Amino acid sequence: MRDLTRQVRRAVVVIIVLLMPFVLISCMQSNSKPSAAPKEERALIRFVASEYSTETKPILEKLVKEFELKNPLIDIELQVANWDILDGIYTTMISKNQPPDLLNTNVYAHFAQDGLLNNFSDIISPELANKLYPNLQEMDQMNGIQYAIPYVATIRQLYYNIELFQKANITTPPKTWSELREAARKIKDTGEASGFGVDLTDNETHANLSYVFYGSGGSWIKDGKWAINSPANVEGLTFLKELFDQGLTDPEPTVTTRDEKQRILGNGELGMMISGNYFSTVVPKEFPNLNWGIGPIPVKDGTPPITFGVHDVLVSFKTDHTNKEALSKFLDYLYDDAAYQEMIKREGFLPVTTTVGTRLSDQDGIMKSNLDALSKAKFYPVQEPSWQAVLDYARKMGDAVLYEHTTPQEALDQLQHFAESKSGR
């Protein structure tokens, strides 16, 4: 019986040894079989962009279409809106808890203060971060957090109709307020045009205030505090009102917008106005025979010349579908040198990336000069969370000062009080 048991055991061992290679092969085949790849998720980016000109929408539509073809799992919902309705669009989206993933705007600090924005340092690639101009990037930070990134920039200058200057016997663009007053008077006396275009409509009141604030040696903020009703600023607004009262401005500063005034100038009915670099791209397309020139922003006599810059930004709101990897890919595409350079040239802006800035500066001395000026320019106080509210309040000032007998001192006292109440200062 014992021998039989031994024989059985030996037989089992033999069978196991014979079967072992097949078992191993089976296991190896099982282990080498590829596992199913995880299903890739789609990403959604709602992008609300500002309409700068008739070029803006087709430029962005083309870019979005090309991006989606190369990134089929990322959907871009693009909406291009005129500045007049832009605030209403994104405000409605935010109120419905469906804010845009990307918004092209000119303010950001109040959104950041309310905790609504993503930190771009967690989104943008190192390559993109490294090619944005540092001075512009720094303006889009609060407490070291990158709540916005620069998108486009301009410097403001005096643009004028050379033929009207010649008819009025004006040989050079005015550099001071007294020269501006005299030039406007000479143009008016020709009987053919208004002298100086002033825009106190909703979208440009704060810009025109900045021209006379900085031009008189004043500012919006000084030593970390609002300085809106400073003597220098009051003098600047008083000068603007005097030009209007003397009939030396266009007749409707609170009605006709900057874009409309550019057309009026192009049509020979306005002598001069302050505008951005886009003037030299946009206006000649509509008025190809216009002979125009550029001068500095006029300043108070005895005050050093100023350069005033404006830059618009992109912000990214926190959403229930935020996909930072998808946003990073799209931003890299949006700022890709070839595509970004095409947009800058067609819209007439200054670039905010060093790569495109260097390339265009090598091709054009005026671009190089403008970018040098941008690096030294004064800007709006965009890092101040109450800036949006101050800007909105300032929009009401035009009619009050020009038509409703509110003195410049009273108007700026009211704006100063409002700014302090909003910022707790």
Containing H/E element for 82?
strand 74-82
Is 273 found in the same domain as 139?
Answer: no
166 and 146 within one domain? no
This prediction's pTM: 0.88
**Helix 387-394 to helix 408-423 angle, to the nearest 10 degrees?**
150
DSSP tally for the chain: helices H, then strands E: 19, 12
Question: Same structural domain for residues 297 and 268?
Answer: yes
Q: Is residue 35 part of a domain?
A: no
Q: Residue 141: phi, psi to the nearest 5?
A: -115, 145
Which pair of structure tokens corresponds to residue 75?
A: 């959907």
Considering the domain architecture, whether residues 147 and 51 belong to the same structural domain is answered as yes
Q: Which amino acid is at 401?
A: V
- Tokens read off for 137: 């990037």
167 and 142 co-located in one domain? no
Asked if 348 and 388 sit in the same domain, the reply is no
pLDDT of residue 13: 39
- The DSSP bridge pattern shows strands 225-226 and 270-275 to be unpaired
What integer pLDDT is reported at residue 297 of this predicted model?
A: 98
**Assigned domain for 149 exists:** yes
Query: What is the rounded distance in angstroms from the CA atom of residue 374 to the CA atom of residue 277?
Result: 11
Residue identified by tokens 């962005």 is 60
Both 236 and 201 in one domain: the answer is: yes
Cβ neighbors of 138 (< 8 A, separation 6 or more) are none
| Cα maximum dimension of the chain | 135
Could you read off the pLDDT tens digit of each residue along the chain, which spans 425 residues?
444 344 434 443 334 433 444 443 444 444 444 554 455 689 999 999 999 999 999 999 999 999 999 999 999 999 999 998 999 999 999 999 999 999 999 999 999 999 999 999 999 999 999 999 999 999 999 999 999 999 999 999 999 999 999 999 999 999 999 999 999 999 999 999 999 999 999 989 999 999 999 999 999 999 999 999 999 999 999 999 999 999 999 999 999 999 999 999 999 999 999 999 999 999 999 999 999 999 999 999 999 999 999 999 999 999 999 999 999 999 999 999 999 999 999 999 999 999 999 999 999 999 999 999 999 999 999 999 999 999 999 998 999 999 988 999 999 999 999 999 998 65
The residue among 355, 374, 393 that closes a domain is 374
* H-assigned helices in 318-386: 324-334, 337-347, 354-363, 365-374
Asked if residue 318 and residue 208 are part of one domain, the reply reads: no
Q: In angstroms, what CA-CA distances link 144 with 135, 148, 367?
A: 13, 11, 30
Region of 224 on the Ramachandran plot (φ > 0 left; ψ -120 to 50 alpha; else beta)? left
How many domains does the chain divide into? 2
Contacts of 301 (CB under 8 A, 6+ apart): 176, 177, 178
CATH, residue 179:
3.40.190.10
Same domain, 165 and 138: no
3-state SS assignment for residue 141: strand
CA distance readout (Å), 123 to 59, 329, 367 = 24, 9, 30
Confirm whether 248 is domain-assigned. yes
Is 99 in contact with 323 (CB distance < 8 Å)?
no
Same domain, yes or no: 224 and 144: no
pLDDT at 35: 53
Listing DSSP states for 147-215 in one string gives -EEEEEEEEEEEEEEHHHHHHTT--S---BHHHHHHHHHHHHHTTSSEEEE---STTTHHHHHHHHHHH
Residue 315 — φ and ψ, nearest 5°?
A: -125, 155
CA distances from 118 to 59, 111, 141, 147 (A): 26, 10, 12, 6
Considering the domain architecture, whether residues 259 and 172 belong to the same structural domain is answered as yes
Q: Is residue 24 in some structural domain?
A: no
* 220 located within any domain: yes
Specify the length of the chain in residues: 425
Judgement on whether residues 264 and 402 belong to the same structural domain of the protein: yes
Q: Are the C-beta atoms of 211 and 275 separated by less than 8 Å? A: no
Instruction: Say what the pLDDT of residue 34 is.
Output: 52
Residue 325 maps to a domain: yes
Q: Which domain holds residue 297?
A: 156-309+383-423
Q: In the structure encoding, which two tokens stand for residue 152, read together?
A: 């486009």
Check: CB of residue 317 under 8 Å from CB of residue 117.
yes
